[in-house]
Amino acid sequence: MNPYVLLGGLLGLIAAAGGGYWKGSTDGANSVQIKWSAQIVADQKAALDAANENQRIANRWSANVIGAINEGKKREQLLSDAAAGASAERQRLLDAIQRATSGAVPGNPGKAGPEPANPLADVLRSCTAEVQELARAADGHASDVETLSEGWPK
């Protein structure tokens, strides 16, 4: 047999084996790259899903807070109306005391009637003003607590 043919055949055999090895290693690299890319896509999808869920939760919390603030404003208006009603009633009582003491009291001589009633009006004025201030502060605190409770995430 011709040594060149034998050498050529041997080189051909080595080239075929080396080519197969090279092709196998590139196929393995492609497989790893495909798996890596698929994992990156899956991670990105999971991150997007988590971001969407976080946005949905934040929107729900925001709606709760806005609703609580609106309800707080309604309560504040109701409390303000109630305070105005109490002030009007206090003024009505003071006017009634003034009317009762401004005229002559039957059976009492001269100025004896109005003098005892004036301290009553002063006490009523003083007490109702303090009680109204205390009630206004208590109602404000109670409304704040309710607003925070309604706006707190559930």
Could you list the pLDDT tens digit for every one of the 154 residues in the chain? 677 776 677 677 676 666 555 555 566 677 778 888 899 999 999 999 999 999 999 999 999 889 999 999 999 999 899 989 988 998 898 888 878 777 655 565 555 544 555 677 788 888 888 888 898 899 989 988 988 888 887 7
- Per-domain residue ranges for the chain? 3-102+111-151
Q: What is the pLDDT of residue 108?
A: 56
Count other C-beta atoms under 10 Å from residue 143's C-beta.
18
CA–CA separation, 96 vs 116, rounded Å? 15
For residues 116 and 111, give the distance between their C-alpha atoms in angstroms, rounded to a whole number: 10
Q: What pLDDT was estimated at residue 3?
A: 73
pTM above 0.75, yes or no: no
Query: Residue 3: which of 13, 15, 11 has the closest Cα?
Result: 11
What pLDDT was estimated at residue 18? 60
